[in-house]
Amino acid sequence: MIDDFRPERKKPKRIEPLDKPLEKSIHDLLAEHEAANAGTDNGASDIPEPAFQPPEAIAAADSEPADMTETASTTVTVAQHSKTAHHFMDWHWHLSKKWTIILGAIALVLISSAGAFAYLNKPHNTGGTYVSKRGNYVPPKPTTVASNLTGLQVDPSINQRPVTGVMIENSTDARPQSGLDQAGIVFEAIAEGGITRFLALFQDTQPDYLGPVRSARPYYLQWCMGFDCALAHVGGSPEALSDIKTWGVKDLDQFYNSSAYWRINSRYAPHNMYASMSGLNQIETNKGYSTAHYTSLPRKADSPSKTPNATSINLAISGADYNVTYAYDAASNSYKRSEGGVAHTVVSATGQTTQLSPKVVVALVMQYGLEADNHHSQYNVVGSGQAYVFQDGTVTPATWSKASAQAQIVLTGSDSQPVKLNAGQTWFTAIGDPSLVTYK
């Protein structure tokens, strides 16, 4: 009966009560009533009265589930009510168990695939450089440049500074010196009586404790002019003082520019004159020596040799107190300097000592003699001669040349090409004869 009104539903099972006897339907009762009254005039009913039931039995009967074998009219009423009383609790899943499992599996695969796709396409930090897909990566421009003096990387403004040369004494009373370790280039030669002296060139650094400062000589002037440097000194030989004026050297003589110099109390004169780079720079500014214009020495990157052939160098300059030795230090690719048989050290204003360790050592073989007074030394700096370039643990035979007092010194190899020097401090030493240069 219900299927007549709800064709989409399956016919419900008929549930038979276990204990309750089957009752007559309303149609059977109606038929028996009509048959009993068929022969009567007054329509009195002969249907017997139902047996007496106690209240407990009636309550128990009312509490039991309704019998599924209801009358037709009752069934129709229930069906009509079902058609008009739908709500969300009436919805039922119509697919079989098989199709339910299939659809569930498909949904699981789709959800897993979507998750995997999202994970694989998100940016991951792999420790490298992320390159935007918007365009090619453009690395930032370098903030440093090669120093004109040393080849080391410096701020571009450094190359706009003047080059300052300082005459530094090397007598035994002047040791240890101060500031030599911060020089970019050092020239070493005999000043007088076999005593050597240094011309230290500064541009990258600005030490404020330099000394002892001593007098000038003509060959130091010529080396200095190749770097367009201003020269700090305390007087000089008669020839040097004359050449300063003749050649137009940028002069920072202490006699006329005392504000940048002072004498220390821990040493006696003349080994106690010191200067500061800040004071010298101020004098250079006042004189208009603001920028140096010169040809830089060609430089290269370090390339330590796997088979070094010059790890111990001996330069017999003049005597036991001034002869120099260098020991190659592979770890720093530099040369530990010693003189007079001990490590050559410098001392800071605070008392800290440091052994000198240039990156490049160059021995310049040039004619040596005395000035007309037979007292002050003289070298033929302008011209050419043999040279030995020590770097990377090896030696390169070369030729040095200098076309004029103002020209830059040039080192040329056996291939007629300029010899490139490692970046860092370079130490030039003038030697009177090639036999005074030995190495192993």
DSSP characters over 81-110: HHHH---GGG----S-HHHHHHHHHHHHHH
299-439 has the same fold as 146-287 = yes
Question: Residue 110: its pLDDT value, please?
Answer: 81
**129-133, 267-271, 298-302: the lowest-pLDDT one:** 129-133
Give the integer Cα–Cα distance in Å for 210 and 279.
11
Question: Residue 46: its pLDDT value, please?
Answer: 46
Average pLDDT over residues 305-334: 97
One DSSP character per residue, 256-315 reads: T-GGGEEE-SSS-TTTTEEE-HHHHHHHHHHHT------PPPPEE-----SS-S-SEEEE
| 107 or 50, which is more confident | 107
Give the integer Cα–Cα distance in Å for 397 and 389.
6
Average pLDDT over residues 15-28: 53
Question: Residue 35: its pLDDT value, please?
Answer: 61
Residue 239 has pLDDT above 90, yes or no: yes
All structural domains of the chain with their residue ranges: 146-287, 299-439
Residue 330 has pLDDT above 70, yes or no: yes
| 73 or 174, which is more confident | 174
Question: Residue 76: its pLDDT value, please?
Answer: 41
- Strand (E) or helix (H) holding 372: none
Q: What fold does the segment set 299-439 form as a domain? A: YerB-like fold (3.50.90)
Average pLDDT over residues 209-235: 98
Question: Residue 113: its pLDDT value, please?
Answer: 75
Average pLDDT over residues 372-396: 93
Give the integer Cα–Cα distance in Å for 214 and 167.
6
Question: Residue 372: its pLDDT value, please?
Answer: 78
Question: Residue 221: its pLDDT value, please?
Answer: 98
Provide the pLDDT confidence category of residue 104 given band limits of 50, 70 and 90. confident
Question: Residue 45: its pLDDT value, please?
Answer: 44
206 with 190: CB under 8 angstroms?
Answer: no
Residue 28 has pLDDT above 70, yes or no: no
Average pLDDT over residues 275-279: 97
Enter the tokens of residue 75.
Answer: 């069934």
Residue 288 has pLDDT above 90, yes or no: yes
Question: Residue 42: its pLDDT value, please?
Answer: 47
Report CA 353 to chain centroid distance, whole Å. 31
Provide the pLDDT confidence category of residue 375 given band limits of 50, 70 and 90. confident
Compute the CA torsion angle 55, 61, 64, 65 (nearest 10 deg).
-140
144-167 pLDDT per residue, tens: 999 999 999 999 999 999 999 999
- Strand (E) or helix (H) holding 147: none
Enter the tokens of residue 194.
Answer: 């076999």
Find out if CATH 3.40.50.2000 is the number for domain 146-287. no
| 127 or 373, which is more confident | 373
318 closest CA partner among 339, 300, 302: 339
Mean pLDDT of the chain: 84
Average pLDDT over residues 64-88: 45
318 closest CA partner among 280, 277, 370: 370
- Strand (E) or helix (H) holding 2: helix 2-5
Q: Which amino acid is at 158?
A: I
Residue 394 has pLDDT above 50, yes or no: yes
Provide the pLDDT confidence category of residue 139 given band limits of 50, 70 and 90. confident
Give the integer Cα–Cα distance in Å for 287 and 157.
20
36-58 pLDDT per residue, tens: 655 444 444 444 545 555 555 55
Residue 267 has pLDDT above 50, yes or no: yes
Residue 4 has pLDDT above 60, yes or no: no
